[in-house]
Amino acid sequence: MYGVSRGWVSKLIARYRAEGDAAFEPVSRRPKSSPNKTPAATIEAIIGLRRTLTEQGLDAGPETIGWHLQRHHGEIVSVSTIRRHLIAAGLVTPAPRKRPRSSYIRFQAELPNETWQSDMTHVSLADGTDSEVLSWLDDHARYALSVTAHNTVTTTIVVDTFRETAGQHGYPASVLSDNGMYYTARFARGGHAGPNRFETLLTNLGITQKHSRPNHPTTCGKVERFQQTLKKWLRARPPAATINDLQALLDEFTDEYNHRRPHRSLGRTTPHSAYTRLPKTGPRTDPTSEYRIRRDRVVTSGKTTLRYNSHLYKIGIGRAHTGTPITMLIIDRDIRIIATQTGELLRHLQLDPTRTYQPTQKPRNPRT
């Protein structure tokens, strides 16, 4: 009549004989044991890392905690598990709903020194005096090239710090910034002021200057996010008394950020590793030259292909590199082939348009 199985009725009768009317009350289905339950020591490590990283002013999200657990404790814990335990411990403050990540249009320079981002932000000293921090950041690797403290940022300071930074790392191919007067004078005097010293310098060096649209800070999102991370780190420490003290703090943070802090957008590597993994580009000496980047994978025959002037060429790399992801840096007929994951230079050649196949120049059967 009720459509239940005889086995279920048998179990219910057995419970009734043992428990009486209590047999009809709902019973928890929770298992007696949970072999996959997170150990108490791991939960304590998660909570401890959250508090330690927060006190130091560093990122303390589930992804970062998971990286530290694997790197320093030898434990692999899923991000969802870490988040669940942080919520249970009351260590997560609900944030307002944001736009989904899929709605953002992201861009990233292909090579180090292809684009530098720059911006200025304000930092208060211990006595309330306002100071200004000028940052130069590599767009490809998020490498903090220069972070300096000043009473007021001027065009002269922008030019001097740019020259000094380029002296250490080489000049970039382009610069991206907002429309501050120390970067550009295009909005001064109704647009009739003429270029300032920084604009003139970039023009003379053959460096492309790019700007974000007014009221669109997300165009310079990498350096804006860097400044947010910097300020969070500074808030976890006593305010600097002088500009020199602030500069000492900035130097300490820059070293931590570049060489030890895992960066989420870089696959948990450091900016220094990303900046030194691939060769640097720079200003184009010949504006008419063709410059492009191509990504491919070495086929089983140890070759790759490249189209030049509507003709397809085959380039030998070597069977030992079969399956290796590669990045090809092409300036006219000058070609550099680099292993994408390691940055190793696999081949450098000048394309010979008279030959469809560009051999490796190695003998087929070398004699010992």
Count the neighbouring beta carbons within 10 Å of the beta carbon of residue 115. Answer: 23
Tokens describing residue 158 = 């922008």
Compare 92 and 156 and report the one with higher pLDDT: 156
User: Please, are residues 255 and 143 in contact by the beta-carbon 8 Å criterion?
Assistant: no
User: Please, are residues 125 and 239 in contact by the beta-carbon 8 Å criterion?
Assistant: yes
Q: 116-277 belongs to which homologous superfamily?
A: Ribonuclease H-like superfamily/Ribonuclease H (3.30.420.10)
Count the neighbouring beta carbons within 10 Å of the beta carbon of residue 235. Answer: 9
Compare 25 and 161 and report the one with higher pLDDT: 161
CA distance 291 to 243: 43
pLDDT band, very low/low/confident/very high, at 329 (cuts 50, 70, 90): confident
pTM of the model: 0.69
Q: Which residues contact 51 (CB under 8 A, 6 or more apart)?
A: 91
Given a cut of 60, is residue 365 above it in pLDDT?
A: no
pLDDT tens digits, one per residue of 206-234: 899 998 877 777 788 899 999 999 999 99
pLDDT tens digits, one per residue of 229-267: 999 999 999 999 999 999 999 999 999 999 998 888 777
pLDDT band, very low/low/confident/very high, at 363 (cuts 50, 70, 90): low
pLDDT tens digits, one per residue of 46-97: 999 999 999 988 888 898 999 899 888 888 999 999 999 999 898 887 767 7
pLDDT tens digits, one per residue of 17-39: 998 888 888 888 888 878 888 88
- What b/e string do you get for 96-109 counting C-beta neighbours within 10 Å, with b at 16 or more? eeeeeeeeeeeeeb
Query: What are the boundaries of each domain within the chain?
Result: 1-97, 116-277, 291-358
Give the per-residue pLDDT at 30. 82
Q: Which residues contact 267 (CB under 8 A, 6 or more apart)?
A: none
Name which of 11-20, 102-111, 142-151 the model is least confident about. 102-111
Give the per-residue pLDDT at 60. 87
pLDDT band, very low/low/confident/very high, at 308 (cuts 50, 70, 90): confident
